[in-house]
């Protein structure tokens, strides 16, 4: 009986510790990811408005959205190194302020070039929102709790994506899209102060101090490692499809293929973000329970990869026009793609802890390069057909675009299961 009481006390103490870490580490750091989610999703909401105001073609709108991901991707490797060398807290305080500057530049822009510059600055500022949260959780929590706690953090920060859908649509008549960007600039400053005051500094005495060149060279070992080569393409596609469609093309698809006006389209984008929010929480918890039962860490991401492949086929075929059914498809798409961070965590745990930031940013950087290319390619595909009478794009183009991403996902999944891959831990 005494042993049982002692066990209960240890479980309660672990729960209290997890709550304390969530409040002091995960929650404040999720603020930058809130800005990330809002910034990505907002273009899906205001993209058609920007296309009209700046007289943009599909290719030009895709490029305007993609410059954000270009700077986002370019920042991954240097910022990942800085995170490992200087710590999550100090880095995120600075990056949140940079994000605020980017939002302000976009708000004050008088044309597409100024807007693109602001988006590029913002891309740097929010570049490691999720990876920083994952890295900090890896430093403060036992391995089996990392995916679940990170999923909880993404669940909270997904409110940023929620804000960028129907609430942002309701704000547009009051403050315009520039005012929405101004609100995000102010929130960035608040998040920076919150991280500075709340997040504790991680002790880094055990990290080996080597030359900057040798620290940078670790990226070469990561990119060449069998674990990275085996899993990175599939994980990249899983998360990248969410960025590509949730960050831009889901909104125009709902207008041009679904036939929805601004208000119902914003509501369906809210459904999309709800799927991502719910999925972040449940896939993280599913990974936690799978690990406790001895399953492979990649179990949940692999199930999600298969599910989103089928969802893309359904969207490509477009078998229904009922708003509830369409909402269910996009909800499923977002829900399944939210398992990407569980894949990040699974791969990162096979590398030494001092490389956690660089492993995450290596995957993230690869994913963002893919997003930059794919957003532009989809724009080029849509421009192969004449514009519609409502200044939209032909539904056939969206079908071909989804067909392309479906084939890419199938290829990445087959690559992951090739027998010559042999995962080994980096020494």
Residue 426 has pLDDT above 60, yes or no: no
Which of the 8 DSSP states describes residue 425? -
Higher pLDDT, 382 or 81: 382
Closest by Cα among 354, 339, 357, 359 to 297? 339
Determine the Cα–Cα distance for residues 291 and 30; give it in Å rounded to an integer: 24
Instruction: Give the model's pLDDT for residue 203.
Output: 56
* Most trustworthy range by pLDDT among 92-101, 167-176, 323-332: 92-101
Q: How much is the average pLDDT of 224-234?
A: 86
Determine the Cα–Cα distance for residues 150 and 356; give it in Å rounded to an integer: 14
What CATH number has the domain bearing residue 30? 1.20.1250.20
Higher pLDDT, 373 or 214: 373
**What is the helix, strand, coil percentage profile of the chain, to 5?**
80, 0, 20
Burial of residue 326 (number of CB atoms within 10 Å: 0-12, 13-18, 19+): buried
For 414, the token pair is 């087959």
Torsion sign (Cα): 259, 264, 270, 276: negative
Determine the Cα–Cα distance for residues 78 and 386; give it in Å rounded to an integer: 42
What mean pLDDT value characterizes the chain?
82
Query: For the chain, first and last CA: distance in Å?
Result: 44
Residue 100 lies in a domain: yes
Residue 264 structural domain: 19-199+210-416
pLDDT band at 13 (very low <50, low <70, confident <90, very high): very low
Contacts of 308 (CB under 8 A, 6+ apart): 238, 241, 332, 333, 336, 337, 409
Residue 16 has pLDDT above 70, yes or no: no
Closest by Cα among 128, 336, 344 to 236? 344
Residue 210 has pLDDT above 70, yes or no: no
Residue 335 has pLDDT above 70, yes or no: yes
Residue 424 lies in a domain: no
- pLDDT digit string, tens, across residues 37-49: 898 788 878 887 8
Residue 307 has pLDDT above 50, yes or no: yes
Determine the Cα–Cα distance for residues 62 and 378; give it in Å rounded to an integer: 8
Closest by Cα among 386, 393, 397, 399 to 259? 393
- pLDDT digit string, tens, across residues 248-259: 788 889 888 888
Residue 5 lies in a domain: no
Closest by Cα among 21, 169, 196 to 97? 196
* Most trustworthy range by pLDDT among 43-52, 117-126, 147-156: 117-126
Instruction: Give the model's pLDDT for residue 351.
Output: 79
Residue 2 lies in a domain: no
Residue 423 lies in a domain: no
- pLDDT digit string, tens, across residues 342-401: 887 778 777 777 776 678 778 878 887 888 788 888 888 998 988 887 778 888 999 999
Determine the Cα–Cα distance for residues 58 and 54; give it in Å rounded to an integer: 12
Contacts of 265 (CB under 8 A, 6+ apart): 251, 254, 255, 258
For 337, the token pair is 């793609």
Contacts of 168 (CB under 8 A, 6+ apart): 42, 45, 46, 180, 266
Please state whether the predicted TM-score (pTM) of the whole model is above 0.85: no
E-assigned strand segments in 294-359: none
Report whether 206 contacts 129 (CB < 8 A).
no
Burial of residue 54 (number of CB atoms within 10 Å: 0-12, 13-18, 19+): middle
Domain count for the chain: 1
- Which of 113-117, 196-200, 262-266 is the least confident region? 262-266
Residue 427 lies in a domain: no
- Using CA atoms, how far residue 54 sits from 46, 58, 188, in Å, is 12, 12, 26
């Amino acid at each position: 009986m005494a042993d049982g009481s002692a066990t209960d006390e240890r479980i309660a103490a672990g729960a209290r510790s997890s709550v304390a870490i969530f409040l002091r580490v995960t929650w404040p750091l999720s603020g930058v990811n809130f800005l990330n989610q809002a910034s990505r999703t907002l273009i899906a909401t205001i993209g058609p408005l920007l296309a009209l105001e700046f007289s943009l073609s599909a290719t030009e709108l895709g490029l305007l959205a993609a410059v954000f991901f270009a700077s986002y991707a370019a920042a991954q490797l240097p910022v990942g190194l800085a995170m490992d060398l200087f710590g999550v807290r100090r880095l995120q305080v600075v990056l949140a302020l940079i994000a605020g500057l980017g939002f302000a530049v976009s708000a004050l822009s008088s044309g597409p070039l100024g807007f693109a510059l602001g988006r590029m600055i913002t891309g740097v500022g929010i570049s490691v929102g999720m990876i920083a949260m994952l890295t900090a959780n890896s430093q403060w929590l036992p391995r089996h709790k990392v995916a679940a706690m990170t999923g909880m953090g993404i669940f909270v920060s997904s409110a940023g994506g929620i804000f960028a859908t129907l609430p942002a649509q309701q704000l547009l008549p009051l403050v315009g899209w520039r005012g929405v960007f101004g609100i995000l600039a102010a929130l960035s400053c608040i998040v920076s102060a919150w991280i500075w005051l709340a997040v504790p500094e991680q002790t880094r005495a055990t990290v080996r101090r080597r030359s900057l060149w040798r620290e940078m060279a670790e990226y070469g070992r990561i990119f060449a490692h069998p674990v990275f080569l085996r899993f990175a393409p599939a994980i990249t596609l899983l998360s990248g499809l969410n960025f590509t469609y949730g960050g831009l093309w889901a909104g125009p698809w709902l207008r041009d293929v679904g036939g929805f006006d601004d208000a119902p389209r914003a509501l369906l984008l809210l459904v999309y973000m709800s799927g991502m929010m719910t999925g972040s929480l449940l896939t993280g918890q599913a990974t936690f329970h799978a690990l406790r039962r001895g399953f492979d860490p990649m179990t949940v991401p692999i199930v999600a990869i298969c599910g989103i492949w089928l969802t893309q086929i359904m969207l490509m075929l477009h078998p229904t026009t009922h708003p509830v059914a369409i909402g269910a498809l996009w909800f499923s798409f977002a829900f399944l793609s939210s398992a990407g961070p569980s894949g990040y965590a699974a791969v990162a745990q096979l590398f030494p802890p001092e490389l956690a930031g660089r492993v995450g940013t290596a995957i993230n950087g690869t994913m963002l390069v893919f997003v930059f290319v794919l957003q532009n390619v989809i724009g080029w595909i849509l421009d192969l057909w004449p514009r519609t009478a409502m200044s939209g794009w032909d539904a056939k183009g969206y079908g071909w675009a989804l067909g392309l991403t479906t084939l890419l996902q199938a290829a990445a999944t087959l690559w992951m299961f090739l027998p010559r891959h042999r995962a080994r831990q980096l020494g």
